[in-house]
Amino acid sequence: MSGELRWAVTDGPAGTAAVALPDDGMAAHVLGLDHGRGFWCSREAGGCGSRLVLEARDGARPHFRHPADGRCALNGSDAGPAYEQLRHRRAMGAWLAAQGFRPRLEEVPGSGGLHVVVAEASSALVVQLSSLPDTAWRERDDRYRRRVRHVTWFYGPEAGSAGDTELAVRGVAYAVRRHNTGLLVGVRDVAGGTRWVRLGACRLTADGFEAPGAAEARALHARRAADRQQAARRAARCAERAAQGPRDHPRAEAPPLLPFPA
Ligand SMILES: [Zn+2]
């Protein structure tokens, strides 16, 4: 049943340590033992904060159950994206905290992602998990750039086409995937390559987000742009000559035949 709640947090009513239930009842049962302290419906994911009961009976798909008198706005189908976002937020927050930053989380209603501002580095980090039309990407990117010097987007699997747009404009774009409790960043280049690195291998500095392979991706983009420009200049020169016609430029023609032996 899609309405069944399969997500919870293990660190209190407003927790961010999210867990998803496995399909297998036995595995879910083991998870229950591992988190003996309890499960909550996180207010940070839009839930009610109440304690949840893990139902993992034989034969049935395991799920979390609210207390009998509980009323909650978060239903099973909305919970997935909300908790997925929470997981990204926790990993991103830990990575920034490890570098001594104090990130501020900004809610962007309906954006389908996460918007973190690091004022000390004049940076915004945007994790986009749901798909985003091209025009909306441009509008939001412009808006963020008016407020901070550096804006770094991380695109989840569903937001890949917005990533394509940024890749074409800037020569590098970052994909993001969850990996256990951490995040992997995919550094994409204009040749179609993606280099996956741990978020922990990346840094945020006053010059913006730095990831292994990003400089190479930008250099490739710059080389291709220069090649295109050169090709365009060549084509323009050819067109110009063709338009002027051969009579105006005798030197460009084959050398005139010499008179018969002088
Ligand atoms: Zn709830």
- Distance from the alpha carbon of residue 229 to the mean position of ligand 1, in angstroms: 57
**Ligand 1: centre distance to CA 32 (Å):** 18
Ligand 1 mean position, distance from CA 132 (Å): 28
Distance in Å, CA 74 to ligand 1 centroid: 6
Measured between alpha carbons, how far is residue 52 from residues 14, 49, 135, 234, 240 in Å?
13, 9, 41, 69, 75
SS3 55: strand
Residue with tokens 């074409």: 168
Q: How far is the CA of 42 from the centre of ligand 1 (A)?
A: 7
Q: pLDDT truncated to tens, each residue of the chain (262 aa)? A: 447 899 999 999 999 999 888 877 777 777 777 777 799 999 999 999 999 998 887 777 888 999 887 788 887 778 888 899 999 999 999 999 999 999 998 877 677 789 999 999 999 999 999 999 999 999 999 999 999 999 999 999 999 999 999 999 999 999 999 988 899 999 999 999 999 999 999 999 999 999 999 999 999 999 999 999 999 999 999 999 988 876 555 555 555 566 655 4
Task: Report the separation in Å between the CA atom of 71 and the middle of ligand 1, taken as the mean of its atom positions.
Answer: 7
Distance from Cα 6 to the centre of ligand 1, integer Å: 12
Encoding tokens for residue 70? 């509980």
Contact 124, 141 (CB under 8 A): no
Q: What pTM did the predictor assign?
A: 0.82
C-alpha dihedral, 208 to 96 to 121 to 137, nearest 10°: 60
Question: What is the distance in A from the centroid of ligand 1 to the CA of 230?
Answer: 61
Distance 221 CA to ligand 1 centre (A): 48
Q: Which residues of 174-199 are buried (b: 16+ CB within 10 A; e: fewer)?
A: bbbeeeeeebbbbbbbbeeeeeebeb
